[in-house]
Structure 1
């Protein structure tokens, strides 16, 4: 009877080990793949500057900040994005993209003044850029590497971003 219990225990341990090894191999394969490429677009900022993305700045990463003037979470996040630009602008570019839904250029310009935004801001009139990045709510933060790969995409401000930039 004890031998049977031992074999069942050994079989369970063996199956668990195989699952862990396969999971590790799958993770290694995923980790080895390059990040997905950022969708490209050309835009004019609200101040009239022309930009291309990716390639906005090929020397450093870019934070794309998708937002709206009516978004309460954006109103909390915007000061942090402004501080990021002010403190780390030499290490990361910031581009704010108003998603253009239930919003206007006039309200966007007022928002820029209210929050003392000095980085480029575009108004996504037809929401095509927002849709190409999978933005269906605000805020959304996307970090694009200097070579055009998406390093992060999420509704939360990327925790540890400042710490990573200060290394």
Structure 2
């Protein structure tokens, strides 16, 4: 228990340090009930993904890094969630590549068998727009592009299931 607490403290402190290095940006933080910030990011597959292309279907946006312990804990639950709901919900994993290495991102995606798009936030602009602290942080966006919910920290199957059920009822 002590080790997990220390690990969480280290992740939070590192996340805060990284966040403080991000450039200031006009606008307000992404909040539940507000329009989700737009993004256009390249995926590990070389394709460009935009938030607009997902309109009409609920979208889960998970922010993570390969060195993040809680991200590793959460990855299997996200894979199971995607397999269960892939016909009704889109899911993208946004790697904060500005503070990560592409080789590590590729290794993580391969090790956990991520079946959904892995997007590269190379300048941390999308993370800044969503005001990501700490990681992992997951946004649930409804079919109209409105933020329906937010999960801070690693989510387990039960928490994800509950949030997805609510998202699908919107």
1:7-156 maps to which residues of 2 (within 5 A)? Answer: 35-53=33-51, 55-156=52-153
Greater relative contact order: 1 or 2 (C-alpha under 8 angstroms, separation 6 or more)?
2
CA RMSD of the aligned region, Å?
2.0
5+ residue gaps, structure 2, are 1-31
Alignment CA distance shift 1:36-1:86 (3 Å):
same
SS at match of 1:76: helix
**TM score, norm. by length of structure 2:** 0.72
**TM score, norm. by length of structure 1:** 0.73
Count of matched residue positions in the alignment of Structure 1 and Structure 2: 133
Q: Which stretches of structure 1, 4 residues or more, deviate above 3 A after TM superposition?
A: 162-167
5+ residue gaps, structure 1, are 1-33
